[in-house]
A and B are shown apart, each in its own frame.
Chain A
């Protein structure tokens, strides 16, 4: 199976004492933040991801969020640009660009192509709808238009990569007389990932187009299981490709030399991570963001989940669980490399996941701890799990990265 290094670029010094009416999304108070510290935080993440490339990760994942100290990455392409020219092997997993927010959308076709050229063909093109906070509140799209805008942009981008002659695009939201993007990607069409939160419309899309789907939550196995099981069941029913490599999942991992060390070093960062993700209820579910059909299907699935109680979710979000309770309830996978490898194996088999987006920095974790986490997972966890799904082809990561990772592994074996 494949491992992609990821972290939300969280501002590490936000005061988190409960303040009525405060949301860390859309309307957070900039006065609480120092831009110099923001810059240092960006540089730290670039260093950690460069290390992940050396330590054997298959991909470096960057994402897009707006107006929040929880994830200060307004353009994932900017962070990806820092990595594309300063790393060698790992895929650049852009997960993803919020297609509805770029006008005109060939900006995405251009920037992803630029990144693919600079990185030597290592880009994974993630296309996302964006959270309600990002796409409809921060960027002002009427929620009922979001899906249409997404699909118009998606089709335009794919056509722009494919066509070798200029063409006109007469869409509902974009009109362009001469589409002729420059440059075009080295991979003619980079692998495409579309994460979702359980909308059946997205399931139909990824099954029909054979994209990699992703369930990108930070609530772990038990929270995800009803949704992911339902997805695979739906996929089987529709005759879709059941290859685990076309399913991505995010998981917080806290690896240390002993279980005791894990608790000592990560507990504060884990609590800070969950507490700094405070969303005003008014921003969670704007009318029209989810279709009625999907909302009904999702409500039915939540009811069917016996594994995680609603009060558990509240306590996790408020930082009120003990370190090992976070682990037990699936929010984090913590402990020695052996324990982490065993639990990731169970998780990956249980959810049928071939692409693990491993969150190895969380909240206000110090850089040296994240570096240790990266090194332990890269050198002692990942090698234990390479056998998983090895019998199935992976069409959803760039070929060049797969070749280089294989060569690197062979060199290591030869050296031993």
Chain B
């Protein structure tokens, strides 16, 4: 995939693009953009993939101009419109899943099919989520991965030539706090009923950050949504079980 800086309605973000075929938009998770990750390259074989970095993450600016989730959705709407290929298939992972669900509710005409992967966006009092921001590295790894040995495979947009190692993660997590702090609930439960695109909820069975009942609840709230569980995978099923993930997603997107 190729990465370039693009100006979306006044906000400069990095966008990874590649492949040919039907348009597919991928929104990354709370820890940052995965760069040209193998699973994205695999999607490029079937789709024209566009994977933007969210404002405030990595080398993308403009978070100070986004006050809330509506502003973020409008930014993403502008991105699809400037691309000129909507409606798109939309995959959102983790925090990106929360963004994708909101976008699908607000701009249904731009979303053909929706895939939410281990998505944030809900809060259930009966099953409080762990705080992703206070964990030690070891504790976070245990929550994130089915097998912590897979941590070494985690793809990243980190660029040694331009990024500072000490601050890269802080930049990404700082931006994530805007939408996940103190609880990752900005009202999706109220708005999910407006989603009209066919939706697939993908869930890594061992995800300690987003337990299974959150996927079930999301499926209940989004009309017609169904859940696909991925065995032996945690918060990153596309990394830990790439083949099973791609199979589920490609089957659904058709």
Q: Which residues of A approach B to under 8 Å, CB–CB?
A: 136-137, 140-145, 148, 172, 280-283, 286-288, 292, 295-296, 299
Contact = CB atoms under 8 A, between A and B. Distances in A.
B67 A292 contact: no
Given A140-B182, A144-B63, A283 B174 contact: no
Contact of B181 (A143, A280, A281, A282): A143
Given A288-B174, A292-B170, A136 B181 contact: yes
B105 interface: no
Interface string B136-157: 1000000000000000000000
B11 to A, nearest CB: 16
A282 B175 contact: no
Contacts of B171: 292
Given A142-B181, A287-B177, A282 B170 contact: no
B31 to A, nearest CB: 11
Given A280-B134, A281-B136, A142 B170 contact: no
A299 B131 CA distance: 26
Nearest to B67: A172
Count chain B CB atoms within 10 A of each CB in A144, A145, A296 and give the residue with the most.
A144
Given A140-B181, A172-B67, A282-B135, A299 B174 contact: no
A136 B170 CA distance: 16
A142 B178 contact: yes
Contacts of A292: 167, 170-171
Given A140-B182, A296-B164, 5 more contacts: A136-B181, A148-B64, A287-B177, A288-B175, A292-B167
B173 to A, nearest CB: 4
Nearest to B135: A282
B174 A287 contact: yes
Contact of B182 (A142, A172, A282, A299): A142
B173 A287 contact: yes
A73 to B, nearest CB: 22
Contacts of A282: 131, 133-136
Contacts of B178: 142, 144-145
A287 B167 CA distance: 10
B174 A143 contact: yes
5 contacts: A136-B181, A140-B183, A143-B181, A144-B174, A282-B133
Count chain B CB atoms within 10 A of each CB in A137, A145, A287, A295 and give the residue with the most.
A287
A292 B183 CA distance: 24
B166 interface: yes
A288 B179 CA distance: 13
Contacts of A283: 134
Nearest to B64: A148
Count chain A CB atoms within 10 A of each CB in B56, B170, B176 and give the residue with the most.
B170
Contacts of B63: 144
A172 B164 CA distance: 31
A172 B170 CA distance: 24
Nearest to B140: A282
B67 A286 contact: no
Contacts of B135: 282
A299 B167 CA distance: 11
B167 A288 contact: no
B133 A287 contact: yes
Cβ-closest 9 pairs across A and B: A288-B174, A282-B134, A287-B173, A140-B182, A142-B181, A287-B174, A142-B177, A287-B170, A292-B167
Nearest to A296: B167
Contacts of A145: 178
B177 A143 contact: yes
A273 to B, nearest CB: 25
B177 to A, nearest CB: 5
A286 B177 contact: yes
Interface in B62-82: 63-64, 67
Interface in B158-207: 164, 166-167, 169-178, 181-183
Count chain A CB atoms within 10 A of each CB in B56, B164, B172, B177 and give the residue with the most.
B177
Nearest to A172: B67
Contacts of B131: 282
Nearest to A291: B174
A295 B181 contact: no
A313 B83 CA distance: 55
A295 to B, nearest CB: 7
B136 A288 contact: no
A372 to B, nearest CB: 42
A282 B178 CA distance: 18
Contacts of B175: 144, 288
A292 B174 CA distance: 10
A136 B131 CA distance: 13
Contact of A295 (B167, B172, B176, B177): B167
A144 B177 contact: yes
B168 to A, nearest CB: 10
Nearest to B174: A288
A274 to B, nearest CB: 23
Contacts of A281: 136
A136 B180 CA distance: 12
A286 B133 contact: yes
Nearest to A139: B182
